[in-house]
Structure 1
Amino acid sequence: MTVRELPVLNQPEVVACCAPLAAEVLAAPGAKVLARQFAALGDPVRLQLLSLLATAEGGAICVCDLTEPVGRTQGTVSHHLRVLVESGLATSEKRGRNVWYAVVPGALEALRAALATR
C-alpha cells in the first residue's frame, strides 16, 4: 500500500439519528438510517475496507491502494466503497484521476452510541 501525505477529506457533519436502542423505542426514520448503515457493514469486504479507511495514514486512501489488501478488482472495490459512502459511513473526493476515501468518524460514533446500553 502506498502512503501519501494528504490532508483528511472534508468530513460531513453527522448527527446521531437516535437514542440508544435500549433507552427508548426506535422511530421509523432512525430505523431506516441504522438499517442502511448496518446493512452496509454486513459484507466482509466492506468491513475490511472500512477498517482500512479507519486506519489509513493521513486519514484518506486512494481506491487504487485498496484493491490489493482485499484481493478484489478495482471495480468491485469501487462498488463496495460506493455502498459505504451512500450509507454515510465513508466519504470520497476526486483528486485528479483518482478517488480518495475516508471514514466518517462521526458516523461510527453514532452507530456505537445507538448500540450502547444505559
Structure 2
Amino acid sequence: MIDPLPAETPSGSCCPAPMTPDQAEELSAMFKALADPVRLRIASIVACCPAGEVCMGEIAAEFDLTGPTISHHLRKLREAGILASERRANEVYYFVRPDRIEHLIGPLAGIRSTARTSPRC
C-alpha cells in the first residue's frame, strides 16, 4: 500500500509555494519539447542507456527519419535543457541532465488530487 501524502508541508501550506510565472514559462518549454513523440522517445532512449550516454548514430538507427530531422529533435531537447551533448572526434554523444529532470518533476510533486488535500487549501 502506498503511504498517503501529508496534507500539509511543515510550514502549514499545501505545497511549498506555487510556481512563479517565470518558472511556469521555463517548465512549459521543457514539457513542450517532450510533448513530441519522437523527442519523448529520444529522451527515453538516452535515459535508459546503461552507459548513460548515446551517440547520435545510435539514436538515429532507432528511427526511420533523416539525420537532419533527428538533429532537429536533439537540438530542441538540448535547448530545453533536457539533454546535453559532447563532441568526441567525429561523433556527438548525448546524455540526460538529471538536475534538469529533477527541476522538471519537482514542482509537480505538490500537485495532488482534491481527495488528498487539506480542506484548508
Q: Is the 8 A contact 1:49 1:70 kept in 2?
A: no
**C-alpha displacement of 1:46:** 0.3
Equivalent-residue separation in structure 2 for 1:79 and 1:47 (angstroms): 13
TM-score w.r.t. the length of structure 1 is 0.76
Deviation, structure 1 residue 57: 2.6
**SS of the residue aligned with 2:110?**
coil
Q: Which has the bigger relative contact order, CA under 8 A and spacing at least 6? A: 1
User: Structure 2-normalised TM-score?
Assistant: 0.74
Q: Which runs of 5 or more residues in structure 2 are unaligned? A: 1-13, 112-121
After TM superposition, the structure 1 = structure 2 runs for residues 101-112 of structure 1, keeping only pairs within 5 Å, are: 101-112=94-105
Question: Once the two structures are aligned, what percentage of the paired residues are identical?
Answer: 36
2:40 equivalent among 42, 47, 52: 47
Deviations 1:80-108 (A, max 9, x none): 01000010000001111111100111211
| Structure 1, unaligned runs of 5 or more | 1-21
1:14-64: per-residue Cα shift (whole Å, max 9, x none)? xxxxxxxx7233212111210110100110000000000101131111101
Aligned residues: 97
Larger radius of gyration: 2
Runs of 4+ in structure 1 over 4 Å off: none
